[in-house]
Amino acid sequence: MKKITAILIVAVVSLLFGLFFLYPVAEVLKVAFLNESGEFTLDYFLGIFNDPIYLEGLWNAFKLGVVSTVVTFAIAFPLALGTHLWKFPLKKVLTILILAPLVLPPFVGAVGVKHIFGVEGAFNSLLIDFGLMSSTSPYDWLGEGRFWGVVIMLALHLYPILYMNIVSALSHLDPAMEQAAQNLGASPWSRFRKITLPLCMPGVFAGASIVFIWSFTELGVPLVFDYSRVAPVQIFDGLKSLDSDPTPYAIVAVMLVVSVIVFLFSKLVLGRSPLGSSARPKMKREERTLPPVLGWLVSLGFMLMFLVASIPHLGVLFLSVSTDWYGTVFPESLTGAHYGEGLGHPMVTGSIRNSLLYASGATLIDVILGCAIAYVIVRSTIWGRNLLDALMMLPLAVPGLVLAFGYFALSQENQLFYGLANVFESPVLLLIIAYAVRRLPYVVRAAVAGLEQSDVVLEEAALSMGAPPRRAFQRIALPLIGANVIAGAILAFAFAMLEVSDSLILAQQAEHYPVTKAIYALLSTLGSGHEIASALGVWAMVFLGIAIAGAFILVGKRGGSLFRL
Amino acid sequence: MSNLAIRVEHVSRYFKDTVALDDVSLSIGKGDLFFLLGASGCGKTTLLRSIAGLEAPDSGKVFFGNRDVTSVPTHKREAAMVFQSYALWPHMSVGENVSFGLEERGVVGDELVDRTLEALKGVYLEGYEDRRIDQLSGGQQQRVALARALVVRPKCLLLDEPLSNLDTQLRLEMRLEIRRIVKEYGLTAVYVTHDQEEALSVADKIAVMAEGRVQQVGTPEEVYRKPLNKHVAQFIGATNFLHGKVEWIVRDDDEDYVVRIRSEVGELYQGSVSDKSWKPTIGDEVQASIRPEAFRFDDSGDVINQMFGEIEEKVYQGPTVQYLVRRDSGDYIHVSEMNPSFTKEPGDRVTMIARKEDVAVLKMSDDK
């Protein structure tokens, strides 16, 4: 590609990236580390560590991150290994089904769980019906174990991401490597320990760091479970007193620092691939067909996991069609009324329209920028393209909450984004940009993977046949990476629809609410708020289910490569 | 100048700290089937890509005819390339692949269709236009790649190891096929290969490359029989190197420079110096390159180019028999005999002799 084009793309991207990513992050850090007279200070930063409440909040968030990651790993690893090694009945269906949790924002699932495991929930009612619990003093499962409630919700939501990372890492291993070890007399166990495991570690750590950052900064689930002693919720609550108090900024800064350290550590120290840039394996892996009994046992394990992971979804589904579901095992009676009610509710229809607008706007930006960036990264030889590559992964290391917070601060009066946040009297542009920045890595990754898989000589051939570079890109490169880009775009779109932090923090007025914030708002309204929110949640589930299934069909088996970072 | 199609002048190309092309100059005549031959890493593909415009030389110039195309982008050079991996576009049919270049040149309608079909016919792929690429065999894909390059009637055709992915039988057929097409269309073609047999059998001219430099340019016979240096002698065919000092200048005129060499053990070799720029004088240390098939087992008594030894190993290869002979001086040479009526056996004493025309005298300092 022409040097000038590449430089131009890098310049534009750097400018946008600096303005809408680095600047807001820097803004957060600035308030956190500068006092009123503009001098550097660690007072606010250290102040957090002297305030037992904030300290507890941070510690809880950190614990949440670590424990959720461990639990997620404990779920994902056996599943991934089973998928990698064996052939078992219904494998195709089951390996898709266990990805189901991705289609529901975890905080909406938390609502469903509340109705199942709450004090007046279905589970207690079941125990009471069987006489295992007294109806006068029901056990408060979530109240007693809120921390674990959040952990389980997050683990159930996030394990597919780790699962896909590990499966992808395993499938990229050349079977010949294991066969070579086998040939030299290594037993299956020592083969696994000495060859397979070390080689797939980068994939494991890449996924694990995302899971950690996600759980560490999760806002929605703790909010729904009333688990307020956790840093993200404290920041969210602190928004109202923002003008006077720099403390929320300082907490955000701490979270940012921890997240970036974890991300870099996983990428640079643990995640360095010993494979380097080895060629893709040519040999096809043979999955071992298990004997029927064992095979069905494995299938059963997958089914159980799917069922457990679907509890939140089922809760939401039941809630959305129930007239009343309180203190009984099953809803009193079923009704479709909430769906109708929802469609009549201005906030619901408006939020659907808003979400579609924000998410598709963000996706459009991501696709255009993502393809251009990927092309520079893979095909150009200009200086700094590796830096660009690394930079493009940063939005994954920076918690959504931090960015949302920076945007929020910058959209106040007299700040740089004030105008942007108020074009057409609505934060539509700001939200679209906020959504786009955080999802850009997915599209870039997908396009980079596509370009790396399609040989550069295919484009050179077009040049050699007389096609100018632009035409060669249009007629050869783009169609060849089309499936990857569409898949990346669908994921970006889906995650934009599910976005929580930006949506809760930046959309202030009801008419600008996206779906997630509308659900959150409905949850706190009286009457059938929960049920309408659930109906909206079900709608989102169906929608995202289709989107994600579409993405997977498009990229085929390589789905995991979209998440491999 | 006017009968030169491509001129490369002092082209150099560096990759990080390695030199891919080191001050390469070449002239390729119009209508020539010109080969760039060398081992992998010798710079031949880089040179071809520099001609195609896919690689920008760090210094030097490339001319097409009298036009300096050094800074002309690939798509404006009208030099169609056939890639080693064929680079057929998997998302297009055979016909779409072939018509691509025409579309890019603004050819439309009947002409587009006619020329596409004609190009396919030219490579014996009539009726394949609607096939998908993955429905074709390797040989068919190779021919589609050829048709795709030919259909645009390029000024020159560039071929980058076009046959290296085919099996032996097909390779033999296709190389003659390519020569037929190039000659039929009157094209100038630059053909990169590491297969010396391929180069020798179809090239008009061969440039032998090693270490980023052109070592020798000549007809197949020239580079085989009169290698300019050790690189060329070694890369094209197998050979034996024998060392000694120049004892006598046998002939010194415009046509030939023939010397007689005496080895340490007293054997006498005589052969001609193929490098016209070099005239070794008496007492110079030189080496003689003698190909295995240049030897005959013969003890008729001529002392020049005669040597003695004992058969160490015999390898039967069908049409020829290869012997490893341990000479009385202690070193080994290879001798091959074409279709012998009696084969020698290990342990047999032998006397060998080579014709003077088959001995090439080379510089000693050629290892750099």
Residue B269 and residue B152 share a domain: no
Q: Work out the pLDDT band at B147, boundaries 50, 70, 90.
A: very high
Q: Which residues of B touch A455 (CB under 8 A)?
A: 85, 87
Q: Domain limits of chain A?
A: 40-270+285-335
For residue A237, pLDDT over 80 is answered with yes
**How many structural domains is chain B composed of?**
2
Taking the Cβ of residue B104 and every Cβ of chain A, the question of whether any pair is shorter than 8 Å is answered with yes
Query: What pLDDT score was predicted for residue A277?
Result: 41
Q: Which residue has the higher pLDDT, A432 or A177?
A: A432
Q: Which of A455, A464, A476 has its CB closest to that of B80?
A: A464
**Where does residue A112 rank: exposed (0-12), middle (13-18), buried (19+ CB within 10 A)?**
buried
* Cα–Cα distance, A313 to A284 (Å, whole number): 37
Cβ–Cβ contacts within 10 Å for residue A226, how many? 12
Residue B246 and residue B228 share a domain: no
Query: What pLDDT score was predicted for residue A564?
Result: 45
Rounded to a whole number of angstroms, the distance from the CA of A455 to the nearest CA of chain B is: 8
- Summarize the confidence of residues B108-123 as an average pLDDT: 91
Residue B79 and residue B207 share a domain: yes
For chain A, give the percent of residues with pLDDT over 70: 86
Query: What pLDDT score was predicted for residue A330?
Result: 67
Residue B195 and residue B272 share a domain: no
Query: What pLDDT score was predicted for residue A7?
Result: 87
Q: Work out the pLDDT band at B116, boundaries 50, 70, 90.
A: very high
B110 alpha-carbon distance from chain centroid: 41
- Summarize the confidence of residues B277-303 as an average pLDDT: 86
Rounded to a whole number of angstroms, the distance from the CA of A69 to the nearest CA of chain B is: 42
Residue B270 and residue B167 share a domain: no
The 10s digit of each residue's pLDDT in B184-226 is 888 999 999 999 889 999 999 999 999 899 999 999 999 998 8
Nearest-by-CA chain B residue for A479: B91
- Decide if B54 and A463 are in contact by the 8 Å CB cutoff: yes
- Decide if A464 and B89 are in contact by the 8 Å CB cutoff: no
The 10s digit of each residue's pLDDT in A386-443 is 778 778 878 877 778 788 888 888 887 777 777 666 666 677 888 898 899 988 988 8
Residue B151 and residue B81 share a domain: yes
Residue B254 and residue B131 share a domain: no
Taking the Cβ of residue B58 and every Cβ of chain A, the question of whether any pair is shorter than 8 Å is answered with no
Which CA distances in Å does A67 have to A63, A154, A163?
A: 6, 10, 17
Asked if A165 and A207 touch (Cβ cutoff 8 Å), the reply is yes
Question: B156 forms bridges with which residues in the sheet?
Answer: B79, B188
Strands, E assignment, B181-279 = 188-193, 205-210, 213-218, 240-252, 257-262, 268-273
* Cα–Cα distance, A58 to A60 (Å, whole number): 5
Residue B196 and residue B70 share a domain: yes
Output the six-digit token pair for A193: 């320990």
Q: What is the CATH number of the domain that holds B180?
A: 3.40.50.300
Residue B258 and residue B125 share a domain: no
Angle between helices B94-104 and B138-150 (to 10 degrees): 20
| Residue B206 lies in domain | 4-234
Cβ–Cβ contacts within 10 Å for residue A346, how many? 9
Q: For residue B368, is it within any domain? A: no
The 10s digit of each residue's pLDDT in B9-19 is 999 999 888 88
Which CA distances in Å does B332 have to A247, B105, B320?
A: 86, 60, 19
Q: For residue B247, is it within any domain? A: yes
Candidates B6, B363, B19; CA nearest to B213 is B19
The residue out of B200, B234, B268 marking a domain boundary is B234
Q: For residue B271, is it within any domain? A: yes
Question: B82 forms bridges with which residues in the sheet?
Answer: B159
Rounded to a whole number of angstroms, the distance from the CA of B157 to the nearest CA of chain A is: 10
Task: Mutation target for A interface from B58, B74, B92, B112: give the one with most A CBs within 10 A.
Answer: B74
Q: For residue B28, is it within any domain? A: yes
Candidates A419, A436, A411, A422; CA nearest to A357 is A436
Asked which of A82-86, A368-372, A528-532 is least confident by mean pLDDT, the reply is: A528-532
Query: What pLDDT score was predicted for residue A242?
Result: 54
Rounded to a whole number of angstroms, the distance from the CA of A383 to the nearest CA of chain B is: 13
Q: Which residues of A touch B81 (CB under 8 A)?
A: 460-461, 464
ipTM: 0.79
The residue out of B192, B216, B234 marking a domain boundary is B234
- Summarize the confidence of residues A12-19 as an average pLDDT: 89
Asked if A540 and A325 touch (Cβ cutoff 8 Å), the reply is no
Taking the Cβ of residue A456 and every Cβ of chain B, the question of whether any pair is shorter than 8 Å is answered with no
Asked if A195 and A112 touch (Cβ cutoff 8 Å), the reply is no
Residue B170 and residue B77 share a domain: yes
Asked which of A26-40, A181-195, A330-344 is least confident by mean pLDDT, the reply is: A330-344
Nearest-by-CA chain A residue for B52: A464
Q: Which helix (H) or strand (E) holds B335?
A: strand B332-338
Query: What pLDDT score was predicted for residue B306?
Result: 87
Domain A40-270+285-335 indexed as CATH 1.10.3720.10:
yes
- Summarize the confidence of residues A525-530 as an average pLDDT: 72
Which CA distances in Å does A352 have to A359, A516, A549?
A: 10, 9, 21
Instruction: Name the residue with tokens 């202690």.
Output: B330
Residue B220 and residue B255 share a domain: no
Which CA distances in Å does A403 have to A24, B56, B182, B231?
A: 6, 43, 63, 63
Q: Which residue has the higher pLDDT, B119 or A104?
A: B119
- Summarize the confidence of residues B119-143 as an average pLDDT: 89
Cβ–Cβ contacts within 10 Å for residue A98, how many? 22
Rounded to a whole number of angstroms, the distance from the CA of A467 to the nearest CA of chain B is: 5
- Summarize the confidence of residues A275-293 as an average pLDDT: 62
Q: Work out the pLDDT band at A270, boundaries 50, 70, 90.
A: low
Query: What pLDDT score was predicted for residue B59?
Result: 94
Task: Using DSSP, state whether A361 is helix, strand or coil.
Answer: helix
Q: For residue B11, is it within any domain? A: yes
Candidates B174, B6, B153, B27; CA nearest to B80 is B153
Q: Which of A455, A464, A476 has its CB closest to that of B74?
A: A464
Where residue B347 falls (left for φ over 0; alpha for ψ -120 to 50; beta otherwise) is left
The residue out of B234, B254, B287 marking a domain boundary is B234
Q: For residue B43, is it within any domain? A: yes
- Summarize the confidence of residues A319-326 as an average pLDDT: 73
Query: What pLDDT score was predicted for residue A529?
Result: 75
Q: For residue B66, is it within any domain? A: yes
